Amino acid sequence: MDPALRDLFDRYAPLVYRRALQIMGSAADADEATQEVFIKAAAALHRFDPRARPSTWLYRITTNHCLNALRDRARRRVLRAEHEEQLAPGSIPYDLDQMLVMRRLLAEADVRCAEAAVAVFVDGLSHAEAAEVLGVSRRTVGNLCQRFTEWARARLEEDA
């Protein structure tokens, strides 16, 4: 293993795991996400700007990977539901209603809004901290969070 990658893993794997666990909600999914994030980091290590903070870089990779994984799950659920009648009764091994509302909303939301919402509402970062992590202004973080909140309220009202 590349020594630089080994150092990144040794130092930041717990941060990546905690981040993945917050978004994914299960230890098994967080373990898998951690491995995938470091595979992606290894592939992109040559593009990493040494002036940047590795924690910020890995935080973004982790957030994007986990949000994409949630979206993929949501899409698979939709496809499975569309074709459910073709399956034998009882062949679906899980309850479709188990996913938490927030995870569903994050999977359906605009990517930039979801990233800001996770940073502020899930991770508890200030707008300034979220702005640094996301590479945008504090004002943009506020606008994205507001758009997410308004969209989420409307989406939940549709479901009610």
Q: Is 59 exposed, middle or buried (0-12, 13-18, 19+ CB in 10 A)?
A: buried
pLDDT digits 0-9 by tens, 50-68: 888 999 999 999 999 999 8
pLDDT at res. 80: 62
Three-class SS string for 73-95? HHHHHHHHHHCHHHCCCCCCCCC
pLDDT of 159 > 90? The answer is no
Hey, where are the domains in the chain? Answer: 1-95, 109-160
Of the candidates 17, 56, 62, the residue with the CA atom closest to the CA atom of residue 37:
62
d(CA 56, CA 9): 14
Of the candidates 78, 157, 158, 61, the residue with the CA atom closest to the CA atom of residue 115:
61
**CATH 1.10.1740.10: does it fit domain 1-95?**
yes
Four-residue CA torsion sign, 53, 56, 62, 64? negative
pLDDT of 81 > 80? The answer is no
Residue 95: phi and psi, rounded to 5, are -90, 120
Q: Output the pTM of the full model.
A: 0.55
